[in-house]
Amino acid sequence: MASSKYLCLILVLATLALTDSKLQLGEPQETSITYYIQDYSYGPNATLIPITGVSSDGDWAFHRFGTIFCTDDPITEGLDASSTPVGRAQGIYVTSALDGSNTHVLISLVFTNEEYKGSTLEIQGASPQFERVREVSVVSGTGKFRFARGYATFETVYLDMAAAYSVIECNITMLHY
Ligand SMILES: *[C@@H]1O[C@H](CO)[C@@H](O)[C@H](O)[C@H]1NC(C)=O
Ligand SMILES: *[C@@H]1O[C@H](CO)[C@@H](O)[C@H](O)[C@H]1NC(C)=O
């Protein structure tokens, strides 16, 4: 009898603890943001470089299965590279489809702007890299984006092939606490 009383007490306390942590989190809020990723994939100031899967002559290609790129692209508020900096898109891309059509995106958006400084978002997914619009997941975040989940679309809105420079419009819709 005594032990079942204790069990009841433990259950009540456990329930209280759970309710308490729920109260601390509050209600999830939805946030949508649009930023621009400035990508330089060639030359001494490249912000995206191939790190494996490069052929012996130093040649590489986005569509070559197994190629892994490391990136540290600037993120800006506007399309123009000289517009207000927001942060950096840091991580890796792996050409993960045998036919080169998909790249696996694994990047953190590391914010440095006034609004989100110190917060990050984790973005991951199979990106159909040659489609006009690519959609991948927002799997988590830190700081203001704790427990974030949602999705991100990427659309190349400017491309200068000769300079290997492109601007990618990134829309993120997510729930977070
Ligand atoms: C690379 O960056 C340096 C320093 O900002 C700059 O002086 C140089 O012109 C840049 N080179 C190219 C090819 O953009
Ligand atoms: C991204 O957001 C911008 C600004 O709201 C909008 O013009 C654009 O159509 C959106 N892109 C996609 C792929 O949804």
User: Does 50 reside within a domain?
Assistant: yes
For residue 84, what is the DSSP state? P
Say whether pLDDT at 13 is over 70.
Answer: no
Residue 1 has what pLDDT? Answer: 47
Count how many domains the chain has. Answer: 1
Q: Domain residues for 112?
A: 27-176
User: Does 91 reside within a domain?
Assistant: yes
Q: Return the CA Rg of the chain.
A: 21
Say whether pLDDT at 55 is over 60.
Answer: yes
Report the residue count for the chain. Answer: 177
Going by alpha carbons, the residue nearest to atom 5 of ligand 2 is 34
Distances (CA, A) of 128 to 45, 99, 100, 137, 153: 26, 11, 9, 13, 11
**What element of type H or E holds 105?**
strand 102-111
Which ligand lies nearest the alpha carbon of 79? 2
For the CA of 153, the nearest atom of ligand 2 = 13
107-136 average pLDDT score: 97
CATH of the domain at 155: 2.40.480.10
For the CA of 169, the nearest atom of ligand 2 = 1
CA–CA gap between residue 3 and residue 154 (Å, rounded): 58
Q: Quick check: CB of 47 below 6 Å from ligand 1?
A: no
Q: What is the residue-averaged pLDDT of the chain?
A: 90
Residue 53 has what pLDDT? Answer: 84
Å from CA of 45 to ligand 1 middle: 6
- How crowded is residue 121: how many other Cβ atoms within 10 Å of its Cβ? 27
User: Does 7 reside within a domain?
Assistant: no
User: Does 163 reside within a domain?
Assistant: yes
Which ligand lies nearest the alpha carbon of 42? 1
